[in-house]
Every structure is written in structure tokens, then in C-alpha cells.
Amino acid sequence: MIQSMTGYGKATTELSDRQIHVEIRSLNSKAMDLSVRMAPAYREKEIEVRNEVCRRLEHGKVDLSLWVEKKENTEIAARINQTLLDSYYKQIVEFAEKLNVPLPADWFSALLRLPEIMTKPEVQEPDEDEWKIVGHTIAEAIDRLIEFRKQEGQALEKKICGNIASIHNLLEAVAPFEKERVEKVRERITDTLEKLIGVDYDKNRLEQELIYYIEKLDINEEKQRLANHLDYFVKTMEGDSGQGKKLGFIAQEIGREINTLGSKSNHAEMQKIVVQMKDELEQIKEQILNVN
């Protein structure tokens, strides 16, 4: 079964003092194009996360975000650096006396505006048990994205199978015009020769030349190869995922056979059918650009 490269997944884990959110989305891309944004506490694990995403998704333009949401009443306030505050105070008093300038009227406000007086709590690195929980959350988000991709893939497969069936039907529609085409070629050449007054020709030789010419227009091999390629395309779609490039190659072969049919058709109705085949094939090529 094919998978789309378009998908979305999200998972959340509850810890004692916070929630861990993981969101991942993907769009179509020939190669893996991965962007990761992680909360500071987990950034040292980014390489590990990247490897896991690449292993499981293989292709696509993928964006993964991991952020932390503090629960109510668990925010840790920034702390005043008392040692630094005392140092600033002593220096201000000393310079005020030396320069003979007045001291600040509002000491507290003045000191709090000085650099690095307020210090934020250090980010605590997660322990192994916590990282296992976060890792499971990431895996769950990827699982949901893959499920989304499979659902999208089913819709793609249904559409493509409809296009393949249309080309099969158009191929069968060519048959009635093949015999008619041969007879018209024979009539056109014979009529032209009979209109040439006073020209005698060898009818046996004419039949030999007609047979040679008609053999050049024979499309039985192209029809058989085209039918085989169409069946192989469907069989490949029904196999394992990750077949997007292979389906692209098969679509190219289908296009070659359709083009050869067009060059050999030599018949207005057959040409119309070939144009319809090309239209169906273009729709297939557009769809498989989004196949993983």
C-alpha cells in the first residue's frame, strides 16, 4: 500500500509539573528535508531524534516541534542575585562619595535595573527515565503522522487506480480502428495508382509493399507492453510503501509506449484516444509526486 508524503501527527505527555507536546507535519519532497525545534532542556537529544525521524519516514519535507508547557502554580520565579546586589550597592556608595554626587532616592528600583541582578533558574537536564517518556511521546506523534499518511495514500491509490483503469479501457477502444486503418491505407494507395492513366503496375509487388508498410504500422507489441506496464504499476502500488520513485520510472515507460502508439496510429480517432491516454497519465504523474 502506498503512503502519501503529506501528513500530521501530535502527541502530549503529562509530567508532574509540566506537559510535553510534540507536533510533526510533512509535505512532499524527493529527499528527506528535516527541521527540528526542541525545548532547551532536550536539545542535546536532537541528533537522536533526527535519526529516528529519518529512519521511520524516509522522504518528505518534515517539521518537528517539541515544546514544554508549565502547569499552573509551577512557574519558578527569577531570583535576585543577592551577592551581586550587595556589590553594586557598595560600589555606588563608594563612587558617590568619591565624586561627591547624591545617592539614588529609590535604591531598590535603581539596583534592580542593573545587569544580571535577576537570574533565571537553570534548565535542568532530563534524566534517562524522563527522556524515555519524551521518546515515547515523539514515537507516538510519528505513529499518528504515518497513520495520516496511510489514509492519504488510500485516497491517492484510489485515484491512480481509476486513471490506470481508464488507460486500460482506452487501449481496448483502439482495437476497432486498427483493421479499419489498414483497409483505408490499402484503398488510398490503390486508388492513387488507378488514377494514374497509362501506368501499369505489378499487383503482386503492390501486395508485398503493402504488407511491409502495414507491418511498420503494427501496434500489437506496443499494446502488449503498455498493458504489462499498467498491470505492473498496480502490482507495485499494492506492495510495500516507499515505492514512489519506482512508480515514477514505470510511469515513464507507460509514457513511451503511449507515444509510440501515437506515432504509429495514422488514424484520427486513434490519435484522439492517445491524447486521452496522455491526459490520464499526466494525472498519474502529478499524484505520484506525493507518494512516499
The 10s digit of each residue's pLDDT in 66-106 is 998 887 655 555 677 778 878 888 888 888 888 888 887 77
Average pLDDT, the chain: 84
Q: Say what the pLDDT of residue 110 is.
A: 77
Q: Say what the pLDDT of residue 26 is.
A: 94
Q: Say what the pLDDT of residue 133 is.
A: 92
226 and 248 share a domain? Answer: yes
pLDDT over 80 (residue 191): no
104 and 64 share a domain? Answer: no
235 and 139 share a domain? Answer: no
Q: Give DSSP secondary structure letters for 12-75.
A: EEE-SSEEEEEEEEEE--SSEEEEEEE-GGGGGGHHHHHHHHHHHH-SEEEEEEEEEEEPTT-P
- Helix then strand then coil, % of the chain, to nearest 5: 65, 15, 20
249 and 175 share a domain? Answer: yes
161 and 250 share a domain? Answer: yes
Q: Averaged over 216-225, what is the pLDDT?
A: 84
Higher-confidence residue: 164 or 211? 164
CA distance 261 to 255: 10
138 and 208 share a domain? Answer: no
Rg (CA), the chain: 37
Q: Say what the pLDDT of residue 160 is.
A: 94
CA distance 27 to 34: 11
143 and 154 share a domain? Answer: no
Whether residue 140 is contained in a domain is answered as: yes
Q: Say what the pLDDT of residue 49 is.
A: 94
Q: Which domain holds residue 18?
A: 7-74+128-149
Q: How many structural domains does the chain have?
A: 3
Higher-confidence residue: 276 or 101? 276
Q: Render pLDDT for 4-21 as a digit per residue (tens, 0 to 9).
A: 999 999 999 988 878 999
Q: Render pLDDT for 37-55 as a digit per residue (tens, 0 to 9).
A: 998 888 889 999 999 999 9
Q: Say what the pLDDT of residue 77 is.
A: 57
pLDDT band at 1 (very low <50, low <70, confident <90, very high): confident
**For residue 268, what is its C-alpha cell?**
484520427
pLDDT band at 200 (very low <50, low <70, confident <90, very high): low
142 and 157 share a domain? Answer: no
Q: Please name the helix (run of DSSP H) or strand (run of DSSP E) that holds residue 98, with its range, or none.
A: helix 82-99
Whether residue 2 is contained in a domain is answered as: no
pLDDT over 70 (residue 194): no
Helices 244-265, 268-288: axis angle to 10 degrees equals: 170
195 and 233 share a domain? Answer: yes
Q: Say what the pLDDT of residue 202 is.
A: 65
204 and 138 share a domain? Answer: no
Q: Render pLDDT for 112-160 as a digit per residue (tens, 0 to 9).
A: 777 777 766 555 566 788 899 999 999 999 999 999 999 999 999 999 9
22 and 100 share a domain? Answer: no
240 and 107 share a domain? Answer: no
Whether residue 1 is contained in a domain is answered as: no
Positive or negative CA dihedral for 241, 244, 245, 248? positive
In this structure, what CATH number is given to the domain that contains residue 31?
3.30.230
